[in-house]
Homo-oligomer: A and B are copies of this chain.
Amino acid sequence: MNRTRLDDRLADLDTDGYLLDASQEDANQLYLSGFTGPDPFLTLYADGEVHVLVSGLEYGRATTEAAADTVERHADYDYEYGGREERNDMYAAFVRDKGVESVSMPPRGPVGTADALRDRGIEVAVDADDRLQAVRAVKTDDEVDAIRDAQKANEAAMRAAEELIAGADVAGEGDDAEAGVLLRDGEPLTSERVTEDIEVTLLRHGCALDETIVAGGAQAADPHDRGSGPLRADEAIIVDIFPRSKASKYNADMTRTFCVGEPSETLREWYDLTERALGAALDAVEPGATGEEVHAAACEVYEEAGEPTFRTDPETETGFIHSTGHGIGLDVHESPRLASGGEELEPGHVITVEPGLYDPAVGGVRIEDLVVVTEDGYENLTDYPIEFVAE
């Protein structure tokens, strides 16, 4: 964690401290405390020091693992597991014990804790800007390396997926399966089968995984459809993989779109357009450029070709119907956003760039690379070919 940047970003807050009540599932908590607690615990940042309060069960591990100046346990406040009001009394006592009478909490902090502290005379303000997220957004070299390593696992998993898809046979009229269905060893090749190979590969490379997208045909036209059932020839198959390193907890992200057989002319045009939109967006990435400008560069490629975007039609359900990308780190989706209103890029921002086109009648195409913003542009952390028709 970069404490100078943290102090700098929090300097204009009017409160005595910054309070988190969350488990390791919350990236702010993981970042500030350095502790992988599976249940919610408190972290208070005040006067340049990090204070952690955990249950007795977590205490031993927290004392060695947490990047904190002090680690306390519930028993230090004579709290026994169970009573809700007593727990809130303990929280207030923990905050006051650090000389803190007012705290800021991030917007997604729990309202129950905020209101309980207010009831006990502690002022609680919402840090609507989520300043910790802005601190996290700029990565150190070590953090960039952690993301780079996760992307290497991603590349291995993408290769496993592409080999499975590219090596498939296509069912003909005489086969048991419906004509056009992809086959492996005579069995229909399903989204689930490809996903399984991807996820096993990720595990073998030290990564956990949340959800993986392997979606073909009309399923691919919904950017968040995970895909299911048999894959088919001549359709676009979107493979979107976002692994998380088990050791470092940092995420990576990559998307490729594949086709076995003969894509329609429209799909070929979409693929070329999307590759151009990716290039245009990447060309726009540099310190000082805004996320909105990078998004605009991708939109313009599509709009010039007559494809709808959210800029030209906020209600469109076809065309380029999502943002161009997002920051990534301890969260899969974090600052900065490459979208309308997206903030200014800084060296150390790690972002995805992922334009795409969607229409249930045609299918979906998306290409996504992961890059880090450098002093004079960007470095691409993704080493995987961009080719539509698998061979």
Residues of A within 8 A of B (CB): 25, 37-40, 56-61, 73, 75, 80-84, 105-115, 124, 126, 128, 196, 199-200, 203-204, 208-211, 222-225, 246, 310, 314-317, 321-323, 333, 337, 339-342
Q: B200 to A84, Cβ gap below 8 A?
A: no
Docked pose: A288 CA to B128 CA in angstroms: 45
Could you tell me if A80 and B111 are in contact, using CB atoms closer than 8 angstroms? Answer: no
Contacts A109-B110, A110-B107, A315-B75 known; A340 to B81 CB distance under 8 Å? yes
Q: How far is the CB of A22 from chain B (nearest CB, A)?
A: 9
- Residue among A106, A112, A208 with most chain B CB within 10 A: A112
Complex partner residue of A310 from B58, B81, B126, B321, CB under 8 angstroms:
B81
Q: Is the CB of A83 within 8 A of B333?
A: no
14 contacts between A and B (CB under 8 A): A59-B317, A61-B222, A82-B337, A109-B112, A111-B111, A111-B113, A111-B115, A111-B124, A114-B114, A196-B203, A200-B203, A203-B203, A208-B211, A211-B246
Closest residue of B by beta carbon distance from A38: B224
Q: What is the bound-complex CA distance between A314 and B37, given in angstroms?
A: 20
Residue from B37, B81, B203, B333 within 8 A of A339 (CB atoms): B81
Which residue of B is nearest A221, CB measured?
B60
A107 to B109, CA, bound (A): 10
CB-CB < 8 A to A81: which residues of B?
A: 310, 323, 339-341
Residues of B near A204 (CB, < 8 A) are 196, 200
Instruction: Select A112's contact among B58, B75, B126, beta carbons within 8 Å.
Output: B126
CB-CB < 8 A to A341: which residues of B?
81-83
- Residue ID in chain B nearest A75 by CB atoms: B315
* Complex: A61 Cα to B111 Cα, angstroms: 29
Count chain B CB atoms within 10 A of each CB in A57, A113, A310 and give the residue with the most. Answer: A57
From B58, B82, B109, B128, A224 is in contact (CB under 8 Å) with: B58
- Taking CB as reference atom, which chain B residue is nearest A342? B82
Q: Are A314 and B110 in contact (CB under 8 A)?
A: no
**CB atoms of B109 and A223 under 8 A apart:** no
8 Å CB contact of A56 from B37, B73, B124, B314: B314
Contacts A80-B340, A208-B209, A340-B80 given; does A321 touch B112 at CB 8 Å: no
Task: Report the Cα distance A373→B38, complex, angstroms.
Answer: 26
What residues on B are CB-neighbors of A126 within 8 Å? Answer: 111-112, 115
